[in-house]
Amino acid sequence: MLANGFSSARPSDLLDLSVFEIAPIALVVVKGEGPVHTEEVARRIREAFGLQRTGNRILEHVLASLEHLAQTGQIEHDNDFWSPIGRDLKAVRDRRNASLPLRRAAMISPAEYQLAITSIISGAVAISREDLIIETARVFGFDRTGPDLREAIDQQSEILVDLGRFHLDGDVLRSGGSSMLQ
């Protein structure tokens, strides 16, 4: 029995369900874990049906159900990440003990990166880009920063600078939208 009341008699049943029948299952996942990547929603659903891998057909079927939920105003998305409508992210999730798929840099939402970066810079007032990358990785529970994680953190910090949330003085990020040296 799945969380929303659907039962699975055999694994092929997932693809037999309509987008409208999968949508409530996807909604449970998004409400429980949002912001959550499309691939993770598909993985959670296929595991509930006892399937071993997420093929393209399953991924497309789940994506269609997520899009239906967004069109009906039940969830919203930021690129590949889905969240319940109106939910503000309050805390960054530590991924130290998360499953391997969730430990990939691409599985962390832009909103979560930006929350971590904002809290670090606000607490430090000023921090070098290199130290920001290291501290952000630690907030997520990572001991090392691979190239994908470095790039994602750097990209999101640049977005925050472009939005005027922080100012870049050389290699140092500072709180506020203007330079403290002016």
pLDDT tens, residue by residue, 46-102: 999 988 889 899 999 999 999 999 999 999 999 999 999 988 888 999 999 988 888
The two beta strands, 126-128 and 166-169, are unpaired
Cα distances from 66 to residues 27, 46, 60, 171, 179, in angstroms, run 8, 15, 10, 40, 42
pLDDT of 180 above 70? no
Q: Are 77 and 70 in contact (CB under 8 A)?
A: yes
φ/ψ of residue 29, rounded to 5:
-65, -45
Domain range summary for the chain, segments of one domain joined by +:
13-84, 100-175
Per CATH, which fold does 100-175 belong to?
Arc Repressor Mutant, subunit A (1.10.10)
* Predicted local confidence at residue 4, as pLDDT: 42
Tally the C-alpha atoms within 13 A of residue 125's C-alpha that lie toward its C-beta.
Answer: 1
Express each pLDDT in 3-48 by its tens digit.
444 444 444 578 889 999 999 999 999 999 999 999 999 999 999 9
Express each pLDDT in 111-161 by its tens digit.
999 999 999 999 998 999 999 999 999 999 999 889 999 999 999 999 999
* Predicted local confidence at residue 87, as pLDDT: 85
Dihedral over alpha carbons 154, 77, 22, 3 (to 10 degrees): 70
CATH class of the domain comprising 13-84:
mainly alpha
Q: Long-range contacts: 3-7, Cβ < 8 Å, 24+?
A: 3/28, 3/48, 4/28
Its pTM stands at 0.83
Asked if 13-84 and 100-175 have one fold, the answer is: yes
CA dist., res. 103 & res. 101, Å (int): 5
Q: Are 45 and 6 in contact (CB under 8 A)?
A: no
Q: Are 78 and 111 in contact (CB under 8 A)?
A: yes
- Give me the helix-helix angle, 38-48 and 19-33, nearest 10°: 110
The pair of structure tokens assigned to 108 is: 């962390």
pLDDT of 179 above 70? no
